[in-house]
Structure 1
Amino acid sequence: MRLLFRQRMFSWFDSYDIYDENGNTVYVVKGQLSWGHLLNIYDAYENKLGYVQERVLTFLPKFEIYEREQYLGCISKEFTFFKPKYNIDFNGWQVEGNWLEWDYTILRSNGSTVATITKELLHMTDTYVLDIQNPTDELHVLMFVLAMDAEKCSRN
């Protein structure tokens, strides 16, 4: 399954549209005013599916992920010198990226690939392609990509 993740161009808060390969809107992400990032995820019919919330006052960035109102886990950035790395306390997944922080791979604990995330260049806003191996993982992969993009935006 392939999703196209595109940040909206003119928005006061973080907001994104997520499309399928045919250009149909699958998810809408709306940022909300809060201390730290708070990203609400909706399906194409405006039903809230979950949210990603930044923990504040931590040494390294951390984001909690919720499906509906149920806590699923936390994604946290690890201290590294060259390649960004994130830990996810959900399903034993790990995220590794290249040194430019444009491309990422989400891996299961056994080393198999959950998804690959690639940044498309030459766009006015952040645009990523998410190649997800199992369609049942797509919402969770989206949540992790939102957290990583929010962490990157916080640094800039």
Structure 2
Amino acid sequence: MSTLLIKQRVFSWTDSYNVYDEGAEPKYLVKADLFSIGKRIRIMDRSSGEEVGMIHQRILTMFKTYEIYLYGQYQGVIKRRLSFFTPNYDIDYRNWTLRGDYFHWDFDIFEGSLRIANISKKLLSFGDTYVLQTARDEDELPALLMAIAMDAAHWSDDN
């Protein structure tokens, strides 16, 4: 089991920030590209400096749509659907589904009936933080990419 801590308002198109492990050590660096066609976020491994993931916004789509890449390979897409009161998403990513409260960022990720991860918003001593817990270590990075893509769809500048 692994745990990652992500500062609230995870996503900013003009910023970079760290994602921390449960020992409060920086594990990933998340950086937004300032100049790209479609908004783009890169996720770097802090220890190696290697790019391990990328989120790229599809342009000219009716709803906010973000492609997810893991080690340069396309993995899937998350699209925000039209909704009036609570956020809704179409997810085509690793055969995963979401259950829970998207609006308050408290939901579980499932693969079939197996719970893969939980993403929740917790009030910690230094402010609101997203806590991402995965049951299997190998799902940590894919779940982080999903959380960042969902946050981008929810909070991007033209919402």
Q: Same fold (TM over 0.5)?
A: yes
From the superposition, tell whether residues 37 and 111 of structure 1 become closer, same or farther in structure 2 (CA, over 3 Å). Answer: farther
Match of 2:25 in 1: 24
- With structure 1 as the length reference, what TM-score do the two structures score? 0.82
| SS of aligned partner of 2:140 | helix
Residue type at the aligned position of 1:140: P
What is the match of residue 75 of structure 1?
Answer: 78
Is this contact kept in 2: 1:95–1:106, CA < 8 A?
Answer: yes
Report 1 or 2 for greater relative contact order, CA contacts < 8 Å, sequence distance ≥ 6: 2
Q: Which has the higher strand share?
A: 2
| Displacement of 1:104 | 2.3
With normalisation by structure 2, the TM-score equals: 0.81
Contact 2:3 / 2:22 at 8 angstroms: preserved in 1?
Answer: yes
Query: Superposition pairs for residues 31-70 of structure 1, below 5 Å?
Result: 31-33=32-34, 34-44=36-46, 45-70=48-73
Does the residue aligned with 1:146 lie in a helix, a strand or coil? helix
Q: Is the 8 A contact 1:8 1:16 kept in 2?
A: no
For the Cα contact (< 8 Å) 1:97–1:104, is it kept in 2?
Answer: yes
Gap regions ≥5 residues in structure 2 = none
Q: Figure out how many residues of one structure are paired with residues of the other and give that number.
A: 154
**Structure 1: which 5+ residue stretches go unaligned?**
none
Q: C-alpha displacement at 1:80, in angstroms?
A: 4.7
Deviations 1:21-47 (A, max 9, x none): 111111111011134431101001311
**RMSD of Structure 2 on Structure 1 (CA):** 2.7
AA aligned to 2:87 is P
